[in-house]
Amino acid sequence: MSTFFTTNRHGYSVRFSPFNPDQFVVASSQFYGLAGGGTLYFLELTPDGCGIVEKRTHHWTDGLFDVTWSESNPEIIVSGSGDGSVQLWNTNLSSNNGPPSMVYREHKKEIYSVDWSKVPYEQLFISASWDSTVKIWDPIRNNSLSTYIGHTQLVYNAVFAAHIPNTFASVSGDGFLKIWDILCYDLPIASIKAHDGEVLTVDWCKHDSNILATGASDGLIRIWDLRNFGVPITELKGNEFAVRKVQFSPHNFSVLASVGYDFTTRIWDFKKSSEAIETIKHHSEFTYGLDWNRRRRNQLADCGWDSLVHVFKPDCLSDKI
């Protein structure tokens, strides 16, 4: 396991580069995101894989809660912050600690989620906010392309479908999971009360475009199939507190990882068991960020409020080729 310490910053999100398996970025905030500024850390694994070096940092005047890489340009990332703005950073144009290339200001409250479309011809990104809206952006335009209003409480997470064009999912404090066609922004194409509590996270299966997972404040992870959307196909149990993020493995159909407020990172195989196949306890505060490395099989990164960023391979996946 490799570890990096974000001094006086608390980790909220971590994302591997889609282009380079050794590069990743961490979005962090001062004072647990309650006050102060935020910092993006551009990090790189050492050649032996045993260490992490800081390549550059960029600072913002408010906390940074999420970050995503462009799927077409390895120099561009987008972050969302507590002041309701989205920042686009071009590392080719910005010096170390330099300002963002563009700032998008339309949301009225905190932005808790940003995501870049995985469909090659869709050069779009999405933002989800505590103002209860989701917005779609073209990075070269100053104004959003469309706004999606359907949730009645703050939207915690919105993610593009991995293989379905023009489609994203969103989850909210209202307990609902909604599926949207970006060309029909008046109403979602599907909606279900996914949990009794607040739904904090959603992700699409990388191997089956009909499968999604949600995680919520009730500590449960539920797996959904769009072909039979009325009830979850399974429910994963064991988290002591809220599930902050859930993400399907890009390498194994039924494997997913989660992090949460019980300070753990858990690995699940929903085809085998409703309980975690591994529970990892290497954080001492809320664990917030999580990402699989698409370019390196079974490698994970996580980060938390204890200022620690870990990159590792779960023991339970060591026998999976």
Q: What pLDDT is recorded for position 31?
A: 82
Number of Cβ within 10 Å of residue 152's Cβ equals: 11
Are 255 and 220 in contact by the 8 Å Cβ rule? The answer is no
- Select from 117, 123, 59, 129 the least CA-distant residue to 87: 59
Q: What pLDDT is recorded for position 35?
A: 82
Q: How far apart are CA 3 and CA 50, in angstroms?
A: 9
Number of Cβ within 10 Å of residue 234's Cβ equals: 16
What tokens appear for 12 in the block? Answer: 């909220």
Q: What pLDDT is recorded for position 94?
A: 64
User: At a CB cut-off of 8 Å and minimum separation 6, what does 39 contact?
Assistant: 6, 9, 28, 29, 57, 58, 59, 60, 64
User: At a CB cut-off of 8 Å and minimum separation 6, what does 255 contact?
Assistant: 248, 249, 267, 268, 269, 317, 320
- Select from 281, 316, 311, 315 the least CA-distant residue to 45: 311
Q: What pLDDT is recorded for position 93?
A: 66
Q: What are the contacts of 75-80 at 24+ separation with CB within 8 A?
A: 76/139, 77/15, 77/25, 77/40, 78/114, 78/116, 78/125, 78/139, 79/27, 79/38, 79/40, 79/114, 80/111, 80/112, 80/113, 80/114, 80/127, 80/129
Question: For the chain, which domains are there?
Answer: 65-287 (2.130.10.10)
Q: What pLDDT is recorded for position 119?
A: 83
Helix (H, G, I), strand (E, B) or coil at 31: helix
b/e map of 281-312 (b: 16 or more CB within 10 Å)? ebbeebbbbbbbbbebbbbbbbbbbbbbbbbb
Q: What pLDDT is recorded for position 95?
A: 67
Are 154 and 130 in contact by the 8 Å Cβ rule? The answer is yes
Sheet strands (E) in 130-210: 133-137, 146-149, 155-160, 167-172, 176-181, 190-193, 199-204
Q: What pLDDT is recorded for position 216?
A: 97
Are 282 and 310 in contact by the 8 Å Cβ rule? The answer is yes
Q: What pLDDT is recorded for position 106?
A: 97
pLDDT in tens, the chain (321 residues): 999 999 999 999 999 999 999 999 999 999 877 888 999 999 999 998 889 999 999 999 999 999 999 999 999 999 999 999 999 999 876 667 778 999 999 999 999 999 999 887 789 999 999 999 999 999 999 999 999 999 999 999 999 998 899 999 999 999 999 999 999 878 999 999 999 999 999 999 999 999 999 999 999 999 999 999 989 999 999 999 999 999 999 999 999 999 999 999 999 999 999 999 999 999 999 999 999 999 999 999 999 999 999 999 999 998 655
User: At a CB cut-off of 8 Å and minimum separation 6, what does 120 contact?
Assistant: 71, 72
Q: What pLDDT is recorded for position 231?
A: 94
Write down how long the chain is.
321
